[in-house]
Structure formats: C-alpha cells, structure tokens
C-alpha cells in the first residue's frame, strides 16, 4: 500500500487470548508501511498497543510473536483445548496468572475474603519485559489505554501524551473481575475496559485530522444459532461484546471518515471458553487470521475510489 503520508489510527478491542489476532493484524499493517500515529486499546488490546509503541519499529513484529510464544500453553486439538481451558480457569496460566490465596477458598467458613481468583504478578513481569515504557511515553505513537471506573461505571482514558503510562494502566485495563483483582490508579479503582466499552473507538475521534481508522474487533455480533449449550454460551458472549461494538460505532460520528471494521472470524473457535484458550495452535491460528483479514481489508481500501 505504501506510506502516502496519511495518518493511520488503530483501535484494538479486548478479548484475552483472542488478542493474538491483533498481533497478526499489526504485521499486515507494518507490511503495508502505513503511518500509524495513534492507537487506542482496551484490555489485551491495550497490552498489544503498548508492546507495539514500546518497541523500535524493526522489533515490533518480533516482540509480539515472542510475547505470544511466552504465553502459549500446550494442548491437543478438539476436546484437548476444552480441557486446557478448564485447567486454566482452575489453576491459571503460569506465564500470566496463578491462583490467589485464599482465592476461591474465601467461600469456606473462617477464611478471609479475597478480591480475585488469581494474582497477576507474572503478567506484570511479562509486560515489563516486553514494553520499554520510556520509549512508549516518548510519544512516537500516541497510545490511549482505557479502563472502567468501578465506582462510577464510566470509561477512563489514559494517554501517553498527557501522562506517562505505566504497567499499572495496562493491568487496570485488563483486570477482568472476578478472575483478576481491581487496580488502583490515582486513588480510583479500575476494572477491565471491556465491561463498559470493549472497542475504544470514541477515544480516537477527538480530532478531525484526515486519517484512516482501522478497528480490530475480537467478537462478531453476527453469527448462526448454535445447537449445543456450550455453543449457545459462546454465541451469547459474541453477542454481548459484538453488539456493544455496534453501539459504540453507531454512537460515533464517522461522517467523512475513512473507517474500516476488521472482525475476527474463526470457525474453529466455536466454544465458550475460547477467550482463555492459550494453546499455541490457537494463538498461531488467530495471528494468521489477523494478518490475512487485515491484509484483505487494506487491499479493499486501495481499491476504493477516491472521495
């Protein structure tokens, strides 16, 4: 596609392990030599945004690939993935989160309360390994990280050109209750951005610059009726987040904007635990899909007649 000088703004949604899609999408964007100047991210989208902006351009794809490799778990296909997800939700993913103490045991008499099933010390270490926060906050790419304020229910947006972003901002954006504990920033308490706004498009529309806006979404509002309880639960999850994205897009004034919505579509991800399926095969497949679908979107953009 080439860099014709037009800015590209990128919006990355949340979805835990589905976020491997974003890594592949970024590879297609980099292959096309687009001039990405702004990224907004929610949950795993925020972490991916930080890895991109927190690495030199020639190391971004490699860093994302290594990040995915580090969080990958071994599993067989088919039912093996479901067993892996069950194990992850019970015992964690050592590269990201491990059982908290007392954790689930708080339901027993005499056991003190806990705020989450898992602690995320490993996630913190991993982010610190893959993100150069000095580089991130230098502002080569403007990065906006969103999180949900626990007490007001509003979406907070933290931008590296306004205040330095830290690992705590990324932890707050991806603090999915009750699995992970809330995070306190500046005296306020935050949980996962996806609770209120999983596709943080609104934060990119505060300027009228001429830009190509690419929104990468991990859940589809459109899809067939499933025939099993697990399939219906998966469809309900897709509807919850996919319809949220539709409302977010509908609420934005995109008149005159070059906007493209690229949505993860994976027929092999047809079970309700897919967002916690960190199997290596699934992460690789989602990354390849991200590259393919974003590359196709960029080809269609090239073919569009000028406005």
Mean per-residue pLDDT over the chain, rounded: 93
Q: Tell me, what CATH number does 149's domain have?
A: 3.40.1090.10
Within a domain: 303: no
Evaluate whether residue 301 is within a structural domain.
no
89 lies in a domain? yes
Give the number of other Cβ atoms within 10 Å of residue 307's Cβ: 5
Average pLDDT over residues 198-214: 94
Residue 46 belongs to some domain of the structure: yes
Is 187 contained in some domain?
yes
Residue 306's pLDDT is what?
Answer: 55
Tell me, what's the pLDDT at 2? Answer: 54
Integer angstrom CA distances of residue 50 from 19, 144, 158? 13, 9, 12
Query: Which SS3 state, helix, strand or coil, does residue 116 take?
Result: coil
- Is 152 part of a structural domain of the chain? yes
Contact criterion met (CB below 8 Å) for 192 and 173: yes
In this structure, of 34-38, 76-80, 198-202, 289-293, the range with the lowest mean pLDDT score is 76-80
147 versus 253: the higher-pLDDT residue is: 147
pLDDT-derived band at 82 (thresholds 50, 70, 90) equals: confident
Q: Which residues are designated catalytic?
A: 43, 192
Q: Would you state the pLDDT for residue 78?
A: 53
Q: What is the pLDDT of residue 226?
A: 85
Tell me whether residue 293 is in a domain: no
Give residue 108's pLDDT band: very low, low, confident or very high (50, 70, 90). confident
Condensed to tens digits (0 to 9), the pLDDT of residues 220-244 reads 999 888 889 988 999 999 999 999 9
Residue 243 resides in a domain: yes
Number of domains in the chain: 1
Which domain covers residue 115, as residue numbers?
A: 7-286
pTM: 0.95
Half-sphere exposure of 219 (CA within 13 A, CB side): 28
């Amino acid at each position: 596609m080439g860099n014709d000088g037009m800015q590209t703004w990128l919006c990355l949604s949340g979805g835990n392990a589905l976020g491997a899609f974003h890594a592949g999408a970024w590879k297609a964007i980099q292959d096309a030599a687009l001039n990405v100047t702004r990224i907004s991210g929610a949950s795993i989208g925020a972490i991916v945004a930080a890895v991109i902006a927190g690495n030199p351009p020639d190391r971004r794809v490699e860093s994302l690939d290594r990040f995915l490799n580090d969080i990958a778990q071994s599993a067989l296909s088919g039912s093996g993935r479901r067993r892996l997800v069950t194990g992850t939700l019970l015992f964690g993913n050592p590269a990201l989160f491990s059982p908290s103490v007392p954790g689930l045991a708080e339901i027993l008499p005499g056991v003190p309360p806990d705020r989450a099933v898992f602690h995320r010390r490993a996630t913190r270490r991993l982010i610190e390994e893959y993100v150069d926060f000095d580089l991130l906050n230098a502002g080569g790419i403007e990065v906006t990280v969103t999180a949900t304020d626990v007490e007001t229910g509003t979406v907070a947006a933290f931008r590296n050109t306004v205040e330095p972003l830290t690992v705590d901002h990324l932890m707050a954006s991806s603090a999915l209750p009750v699995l992970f504990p809330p995070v306190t920033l500046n005296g306020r308490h935050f949980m996962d951005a996806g609770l209120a706004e999983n596709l943080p498009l609104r934060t990119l529309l505060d300027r009228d610059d001429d830009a190509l806006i690419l929104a990468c979404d991990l859940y589809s509002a459109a899809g067939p009726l499933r025939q099993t309880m697990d399939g219906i639960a998966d469809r309900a999850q897709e509807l919850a987040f996919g319809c949220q994205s539709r409302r977010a897009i509908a609420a934005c004034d995109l008149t005159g904007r070059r906007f493209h919505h690229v949505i993860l579509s994976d027929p092999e991800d047809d079970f309700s635990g897919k967002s916690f399926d960190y199997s290596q095969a699934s992460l690789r497949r989602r990354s390849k899909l991200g590259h393919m679908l974003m590359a196709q979107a960029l080809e269609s953009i090239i073919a569009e007649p000028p406005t």
